[in-house]
Protein backbone atom coordinates (compact mmCIF):
# COMPACT_ATOMS: atom_id res chain seq x y z
CA UNK A 1 0.00 0.00 0.00
CA UNK A 2 1.19 3.46 -0.86
CA UNK A 3 1.29 6.23 1.76
CA UNK A 4 2.07 9.87 1.07
CA UNK A 5 2.84 12.13 4.02
CA UNK A 6 2.50 15.90 3.90
CA UNK A 7 4.76 17.41 6.54
CA UNK A 8 7.03 20.39 7.20
CA UNK A 9 9.38 17.90 8.88
CA UNK A 10 9.83 15.05 6.37
CA UNK A 11 13.12 13.99 8.02
CA UNK A 12 11.18 13.10 11.19
CA UNK A 13 9.04 10.62 9.26
CA UNK A 14 11.94 9.33 7.12
CA UNK A 15 14.23 8.58 10.05
CA UNK A 16 11.35 6.86 11.85
CA UNK A 17 10.51 4.46 9.02
CA UNK A 18 14.18 3.70 8.35
CA UNK A 19 14.39 1.72 11.59
CA UNK A 20 12.46 -0.64 13.80
CA UNK A 21 10.06 -3.48 13.12
CA UNK A 22 8.14 -1.49 10.54
CA UNK A 23 11.23 -1.16 8.37
CA UNK A 24 10.43 -4.64 7.09
CA UNK A 25 7.14 -3.38 5.65
CA UNK A 26 9.02 -0.81 3.61
CA UNK A 27 12.05 -2.96 2.69
CA UNK A 28 9.79 -5.73 1.44
CA UNK A 29 7.71 -3.26 -0.56
CA UNK A 30 4.53 -4.00 1.41
CA UNK A 31 4.44 -0.32 2.11
CA UNK A 32 5.70 2.47 -0.10
CA UNK A 33 6.07 5.82 1.60
CA UNK A 34 6.82 9.25 0.19
CA UNK A 35 7.10 12.49 2.13
CA UNK A 36 6.09 15.81 0.68
CA UNK A 37 7.05 19.21 2.10
CA UNK A 38 4.47 21.96 1.50
CA UNK A 39 7.39 24.40 1.60
CA UNK A 40 8.45 23.05 -1.81
CA UNK A 41 5.07 24.21 -3.13
CA UNK A 42 5.15 27.67 -1.51
CA UNK A 43 5.69 30.88 -3.45
CA UNK A 44 8.20 33.67 -3.17
CA UNK A 45 11.69 34.00 -1.87
CA UNK A 46 10.57 33.23 1.63
CA UNK A 47 8.48 30.17 0.70
CA UNK A 48 6.00 30.96 3.44
CA UNK A 49 3.86 28.11 4.66
CA UNK A 50 2.21 29.90 7.59
CA UNK A 51 0.67 33.25 8.46
CA UNK A 52 -1.00 35.06 11.36
CA UNK A 53 -4.56 34.07 12.24
CA UNK A 54 -7.39 36.38 11.16
CA UNK A 55 -9.08 37.72 14.27
CA UNK A 56 -5.79 37.77 16.10
CA UNK A 57 -4.49 35.52 18.80
CA UNK A 58 -1.31 33.63 19.40
CA UNK A 59 0.57 31.42 16.97
CA UNK A 60 0.45 30.88 13.27
CA UNK A 61 -1.81 28.98 10.87
CA UNK A 62 -0.73 26.79 7.94
CA UNK A 63 -1.58 28.50 4.63
CA UNK A 64 -4.11 26.60 2.49
CA UNK A 65 -2.43 27.32 -0.87
CA UNK A 66 0.90 25.44 -0.42
CA UNK A 67 -1.06 22.50 1.02
CA UNK A 68 -3.45 22.48 -1.95
CA UNK A 69 -0.57 22.64 -4.45
CA UNK A 70 1.23 19.85 -2.59
CA UNK A 71 -1.89 17.67 -2.50
CA UNK A 72 -2.52 18.26 -6.21
CA UNK A 73 1.01 17.04 -7.01
CA UNK A 74 0.41 13.93 -4.90
CA UNK A 75 -2.94 13.19 -6.57
CA UNK A 76 -1.32 13.66 -10.00
CA UNK A 77 1.58 11.35 -9.21
CA UNK A 78 -0.75 8.72 -7.77
CA UNK A 79 -3.13 9.18 -10.69
CA UNK A 80 -6.07 8.74 -8.34
CA UNK A 81 -9.01 10.78 -7.18
CA UNK A 82 -9.67 11.76 -3.59
CA UNK A 83 -11.88 8.80 -2.85
CA UNK A 84 -9.38 6.09 -3.71
CA UNK A 85 -6.88 7.30 -1.10
CA UNK A 86 -8.38 9.24 1.80
CA UNK A 87 -6.63 12.34 3.12
CA UNK A 88 -6.21 11.83 6.85
CA UNK A 89 -5.48 14.93 8.95
CA UNK A 90 -4.07 14.18 12.38
CA UNK A 91 -5.80 16.60 14.69
CA UNK A 92 -7.18 16.75 18.25
CA UNK A 93 -10.60 17.26 16.58
CA UNK A 94 -10.56 13.73 15.16
CA UNK A 95 -11.83 10.42 16.43
CA UNK A 96 -9.33 8.71 18.71
CA UNK A 97 -7.06 6.16 17.02
CA UNK A 98 -7.81 2.61 18.12
CA UNK A 99 -7.14 -0.88 16.74
CA UNK A 100 -10.47 -0.99 14.90
CA UNK A 101 -9.52 2.18 13.03
CA UNK A 102 -6.01 0.78 12.44
CA UNK A 103 -7.45 -2.43 10.97
CA UNK A 104 -9.78 -0.42 8.74
CA UNK A 105 -6.89 1.79 7.58
CA UNK A 106 -4.67 -1.24 6.91
CA UNK A 107 -7.38 -2.70 4.67
CA UNK A 108 -7.49 0.39 2.44
CA UNK A 109 -6.42 -0.93 -0.96
CA UNK A 110 -5.10 2.42 -2.16
CA UNK A 111 -3.41 3.48 1.05
CA UNK A 112 -3.75 7.01 2.30
CA UNK A 113 -2.42 10.54 2.25
CA UNK A 114 -1.45 11.72 5.73
CA UNK A 115 -1.24 15.34 6.89
CA UNK A 116 0.50 16.36 10.06
CA UNK A 117 -0.14 19.91 11.19
CA UNK A 118 2.20 22.41 12.83
CA UNK A 119 1.72 25.73 14.65
CA UNK A 120 -1.97 26.16 15.59
CA UNK A 121 -3.13 23.95 12.72
CA UNK A 122 -4.44 24.27 9.16
CA UNK A 123 -6.74 26.89 7.58
CA UNK A 124 -10.28 25.52 7.97
CA UNK A 125 -11.06 25.98 4.25
CA UNK A 126 -8.38 23.45 3.28
CA UNK A 127 -9.79 20.99 5.82
CA UNK A 128 -13.35 21.44 4.53
CA UNK A 129 -12.30 21.11 0.89
CA UNK A 130 -9.86 18.21 1.07
CA UNK A 131 -9.73 16.30 4.36
CA UNK A 132 -11.66 13.02 4.39
CA UNK A 133 -10.97 11.98 7.95
CA UNK A 134 -9.50 13.45 11.12
CA UNK A 135 -7.76 11.17 13.58
CA UNK A 136 -6.44 12.06 17.03
CA UNK A 137 -3.95 10.26 19.23
CA UNK A 138 -5.60 11.60 22.37
CA UNK A 139 -6.38 14.62 24.47
CA UNK A 140 -3.10 16.36 25.07
CA UNK A 141 -1.17 19.19 23.46
CA UNK A 142 1.52 18.41 20.91
CA UNK A 143 3.65 20.70 18.78
CA UNK A 144 2.85 18.80 15.59
CA UNK A 145 0.93 16.01 13.95
CA UNK A 146 4.03 14.04 12.91
CA UNK A 147 4.11 11.87 16.03
CA UNK A 148 0.45 10.83 15.63
CA UNK A 149 1.16 10.11 11.92
CA UNK A 150 4.09 7.90 12.95
CA UNK A 151 1.91 6.04 15.47
CA UNK A 152 -0.59 5.37 12.66
CA UNK A 153 2.23 4.25 10.30
CA UNK A 154 3.64 1.84 12.90
CA UNK A 155 0.26 0.32 13.73
CA UNK A 156 -0.78 -0.01 10.06
CA UNK A 157 2.58 -1.34 8.82
CA UNK A 158 2.57 -4.28 11.24
CA UNK A 159 -0.79 -5.42 9.88
CA UNK A 160 0.46 -5.67 6.29
CA UNK A 161 0.51 -9.32 5.21
CA UNK A 162 3.99 -10.82 5.42
CA UNK A 163 5.38 -8.07 7.63
CA UNK A 164 5.26 -9.94 10.92
CA UNK A 165 7.67 -12.87 11.05
CA UNK A 166 6.78 -16.30 12.46
CA UNK A 167 7.48 -15.37 16.04
CA UNK A 168 5.22 -12.31 15.69
CA UNK A 169 2.50 -13.90 13.62
CA UNK A 170 0.45 -15.02 16.63
CA UNK A 171 -0.72 -11.41 16.57
CA UNK A 172 -2.94 -12.39 13.68
CA UNK A 173 -4.82 -15.23 15.32
CA UNK A 174 -8.11 -14.60 17.03
CA UNK A 175 -6.75 -15.27 20.51
CA UNK A 176 -4.26 -12.45 20.23
CA UNK A 177 -4.72 -9.35 22.38
CA UNK A 178 -4.69 -7.50 19.06
CA UNK A 179 -8.09 -8.88 18.18
CA UNK A 180 -9.67 -9.78 21.52
CA UNK A 181 -10.09 -6.14 22.50
CA UNK A 182 -8.76 -6.99 25.97
CA UNK A 183 -5.54 -6.10 27.73
CA UNK A 184 -2.67 -8.56 27.43
CA UNK A 185 -1.94 -11.01 30.24
CA UNK A 186 1.33 -10.46 32.17
CA UNK A 187 4.56 -11.77 30.66
CA UNK A 188 7.38 -13.65 32.39
CA UNK A 189 10.78 -14.83 31.18
CA UNK A 190 13.94 -16.26 32.72
CA UNK A 191 14.85 -16.75 35.50
CA UNK A 192 11.90 -18.73 36.90
CA UNK A 193 12.48 -17.08 40.28
CA UNK A 194 13.71 -13.48 40.24
CA UNK A 195 14.45 -11.60 43.47
CA UNK A 196 12.45 -14.19 45.34
CA UNK A 197 9.38 -13.82 43.12
CA UNK A 198 8.25 -16.94 41.27
CA UNK A 199 6.73 -17.25 37.84
CA UNK A 200 3.05 -18.33 38.00
CA UNK A 201 3.15 -22.18 37.99
CA UNK A 202 0.57 -22.45 35.16
CA UNK A 203 3.12 -20.88 32.78
CA UNK A 204 5.70 -23.52 33.70
CA UNK A 205 3.26 -26.44 33.46
CA UNK A 206 3.80 -27.18 29.80
CA UNK A 207 0.05 -27.78 29.42
CA UNK A 208 -1.13 -25.59 26.57
CA UNK A 209 -4.80 -25.57 27.58
CA UNK A 210 -3.95 -24.70 31.18
CA UNK A 211 -1.66 -21.89 30.01
CA UNK A 212 -4.31 -20.54 27.65
CA UNK A 213 -6.90 -20.62 30.45
CA UNK A 214 -4.56 -18.82 32.85
CA UNK A 215 -3.79 -16.14 30.29
CA UNK A 216 -7.44 -15.61 29.39
CA UNK A 217 -8.38 -15.30 33.07
CA UNK A 218 -5.57 -12.81 33.71
CA UNK A 219 -6.50 -10.85 30.63
CA UNK A 220 -10.17 -10.66 31.65
CA UNK A 221 -9.42 -9.75 35.28
CA UNK A 222 -6.79 -7.15 34.41
CA UNK A 223 -9.08 -5.55 31.86
CA UNK A 224 -12.04 -5.52 34.25
CA UNK A 225 -9.87 -3.89 36.94
CA UNK A 226 -8.08 -1.33 34.77
CA UNK A 227 -10.20 -0.75 31.68
CA UNK A 228 -13.84 -1.65 32.33
CA UNK A 229 -14.70 0.32 29.16
CA UNK A 230 -12.88 -2.35 27.12
CA UNK A 231 -14.91 -5.14 28.78
CA UNK A 232 -18.14 -3.38 27.80
CA UNK A 233 -16.84 -2.94 24.24
CA UNK A 234 -15.74 -6.58 23.91
CA UNK A 235 -19.10 -7.75 25.26
CA UNK A 236 -20.96 -5.60 22.73
CA UNK A 237 -18.76 -6.96 19.93
CA UNK A 238 -19.62 -10.52 20.97
CA UNK A 239 -16.02 -11.29 21.90
CA UNK A 240 -16.80 -12.73 25.34
CA UNK A 241 -17.83 -16.36 25.76
CA UNK A 242 -20.10 -17.78 28.46
CA UNK A 243 -16.95 -19.05 30.17
CA UNK A 244 -15.43 -15.54 30.02
CA UNK A 245 -18.60 -14.16 31.66
CA UNK A 246 -18.32 -16.77 34.45
CA UNK A 247 -14.72 -15.70 35.07
CA UNK A 248 -15.74 -12.03 35.17
CA UNK A 249 -18.56 -12.85 37.59
CA UNK A 250 -15.95 -14.42 39.86
CA UNK A 251 -17.58 -17.83 39.59
CA UNK A 252 -14.42 -19.68 38.69
Q: Which residues sit at the interface with ligand 4G1, rule CB under 6 A?
A: 90-92, 117-118, 120-121, 136-145, 148
Cα dihedral: 35, 85, 102, 168 (round 10): -70
Count of Cβ atoms closer than 10 Å to residue 64 Cβ: 17
Question: How many C-beta neighbours within 10 Å does residue 218 have?
Answer: 18
Nearer to ligand 4G1 among residue 53 and residue 144 (C-beta): 144
Task: Give the residue among 252, 175, 174 at the shortest CA–CA distance from 216.
Answer: 175
Whether 39 is a known active-site residue: answer no
Q: To the nearest whole angstrom, how small is the minimum distance from the Cβ of residue 80 to ligand 4G1?
A: 24
Annotated catalytic residue: which of 58, 173, 191, 229?
173
Asked if residue 2 lies in contact with residue 111, where contact means CB atoms within 8 angstroms, the answer is yes
Based on the residue annotation, tell me whether 173 is a catalytic residue of this protein.
yes
Looking at 11, 27, 95, 120, which residue is catalytic?
Answer: 120
Q: Of residues 10, 92, 177, 200, which has the active-site annotation? A: 92
Looking at beta carbons only, is 139 or 166 nearer to ligand 4G1?
Answer: 139
CB of 11 to ligand 4G1, least distance (A): 17
64 annotated active-site? no
Shortest separation between residue 23's beta carbon and ligand 4G1, angstroms: 23
Closest contact distance (angstroms) between CB of 8 and ligand 4G1 is 10
- Nearer Cβ to ligand 4G1, position 148 or 181? 148
58 is catalytic: no
User: 156: burial class by Cβ within 10 Å (0-12, 13-18, 19+)?
Assistant: buried
Nearest distance from residue 12's CB to ligand 4G1, in Å? 13
| Active-site amino acid positions | 92, 120, 158, 173
Amino acid sequence: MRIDVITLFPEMIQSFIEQGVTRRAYDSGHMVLKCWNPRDFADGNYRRVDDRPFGGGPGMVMLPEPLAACLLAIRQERADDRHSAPLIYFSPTGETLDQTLVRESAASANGAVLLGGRYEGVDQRFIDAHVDRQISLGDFVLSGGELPAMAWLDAVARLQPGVLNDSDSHAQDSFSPDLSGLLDSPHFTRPEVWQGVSTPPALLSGHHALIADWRRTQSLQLTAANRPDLIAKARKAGLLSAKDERILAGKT
